[in-house]
Chains A and B, each alone.
Chain A
Amino acid sequence: MTHEHEHEHEHDPRAIRTEALERLLVDQGLITSAAIDTIIERYETDVGPLNGARVVAKAWTDPEYRARLLADGTTAIAELGIGGPQGEKMVVVENTPAVHNVIVCTLCSCYPWPVLGLPPAWYKDPAYRSRVVREPRKVLSEFGLTLDDNTEVRVWDSSAEIRYLVLPERPASTTGADERTLAELVTRDAMIGVARIDA
C-alpha cells in the first residue's frame, strides 16, 4: 500500500498547503469556505455507490431497462436522475458466468463518480493500477474472488473520458426480491468488478 496515511497529524505540510490554496481561491472570489463545506458534505453523503446500486437493481428487475442500459449506459442512467462530472459518457459491461469484467485507470484513477462516488484507496493504489492489467486473476484472488479457468477476464482501462460500470450477476437466491431489497445487496466492489454479490 502507499504512504498516503502516514502524515495525518495537524502539521501535515499538505494541510498547510491546502489552507494557503484555500485563502488564495477565496481571495480571488472563486469560492467561499462555506461553499467548500457544502460540497464536501454532498460527496460524503449524497454521491456514492448507492446510485450505482439503484441502477443495477433496476436492471435486474426490468429486462427492458437492462437492455437500454447495456445499449446506452449514459441515457439509461440519466433516466434515474443520475449524472454529472466524470459521468459524461457511461458504458455498462455485464458480468456473466462466461465473462468477468473489471475496471481500472492505469494512468491516473478515473472513476465513474455519479454512480460510485469517489474511488476507494485501493483503486488509487499503485499496486492495483499496475498489477490488474498484467495479472487480473491473481489480483482478483487477493480480493477473495477466484475465477474459473474457463471464465474470460476482461480488464477495462479507462484511459479517455468514457467511464465504466460493471453490471454484476444477480444472485440466484434472490428470485422474487423487489428492487429496493436488491439495491441493498449491491456493493461498490461488485460494480468495479473485484467482487461477486453473494446472497
Chain B
Amino acid sequence: MDGIHDMGGSHDFPASLTERDEKVFHAEWEARAFVLSNTFTGAGCANVDQFRHAIERLDPEVYIGDGYFGRWLGSVELMITDANGQVAPGRYTEHRAARELVAPPLFAVDDIVKTKNYNPPGHTRLPGYVRNRTGRVELLHGGWVYPDTHAHHEGENPEHVYSVRFDGNELWGADAEPSASVTVDLFESYLELA
C-alpha cells in the first residue's frame, strides 16, 4: 500500500541528522513492547509480513507520533483486534523465510531490469521510489517467502529475490547527487527485462 511508511525519497522529513549515543531502550515500556511483539510473532500468532503490514495500517499520525516501539505495540494490538480479541499461537511455526526453489531464476547478474508500475492496496516490499525504474541486477539471493501474499493469508508463494542497483539519476532526475546509487532487494514478480 502507498502510505506514510514508504518513506524513501519523501520531502516530508527534512530534519538534519545529528549523531548521538543512546541506550537501547528509552523507557521500560519500549523494552517490554519489543519483547511482547517478538513473543506474539514467535509463538506463531502472526507472521512477520502480517506484523509489518499491520504497522503500515496504523493511522499516519499514530505511525509518526507513537515512535518505533509504539508502532510495534500498535501492530500487535491491531492484529488482536482483527481476531476479535483472540490470541491463537501455533498458526505460523516456520520463522525462517528462505525457501529452496525448483524454478531457476529468470534474471542473471548484470541483466538490465525494469520494475513494474505496481501499486497494490495491500502489503508490498516494492518501495514507491523504485517503481517503473530501470536498474541492473547486482546479486541473486535465492528463494524467499513472498510478502505480498504472505501478509494476507494467501500463502508463501516463494520467489527469487535480487539486489537491483538503480543509478541516482534514474531515481531522482538530473538534480541527483553525482555518482550515487541505491540498491534495493526485489522479488521476481516486481521485475521484467528492460
Contact = CB atoms under 8 A, between A and B. Distances in A.
Instruction: Determine if chain A interacts with chain B.
Output: yes
B40 interface: yes
Interface stretch (A51-59, A60-68, A147-155, A171-179): A147-155
Contact of A160 (B69, B125, B178): B125
A107 B7 CA distance: 6
B33 A14 contact: yes
Interface string B76-89: 11001000000101
Nearest to B178: A149
B33 A44 contact: no
A13 B9 CA distance: 32
Contact of B185 (A12, A30, A143, A157): A157
Interface in A82-100: 85, 88-89, 91
A157 B36 contact: no
Contacts of A24: 80, 87
Interface residues of B, number: 79
B153 interface: no
Contacts of B52: 107-108
A159 B184 contact: yes
A160 B13 contact: no
A4 B68 contact: yes
A14 B87 CA distance: 20
B36 A21 contact: yes
Contact of A144 (B19, B64, B95): B19
A183 B65 CA distance: 37
Contact of A156 (B39, B129, B179, B183): B183
Contact of B89 (A18, A28, A154): A28
Contact of A143 (B19, B43, B177): B19
A137 B25 contact: no
Contact of B127 (A142, A152, A159): A159
A13 B128 CA distance: 33
Interface residues of A, number: 73
Nearest to B124: A107
Contacts of A8: 26-27
A124 B68 contact: yes
B182 A133 contact: yes
Interface in B36-52: 36, 38-40, 43, 45, 52
Nearest to A27: B87
Nearest to A117: B24
Contacts of B18: 1, 122, 142
Interface in A118-164: 118, 120-122, 124-131, 133-139, 142-144, 149-162
B19 A189 contact: yes
Listed from nearest, the 10 A-B pairs whose CB atoms lie closest are A4-B67, A106-B8, A160-B185, A15-B29, A126-B13, A130-B10, A127-B15, A130-B7, A18-B29, A153-B180
20 contacts: A1-B15, A25-B39, A30-B40, A36-B36, A40-B31, A40-B34, A40-B35, A43-B34, A106-B9, A106-B129, A107-B52, A121-B22, A126-B13, A127-B15, A129-B8, A130-B13, A131-B14, A153-B181, A158-B185, A160-B187
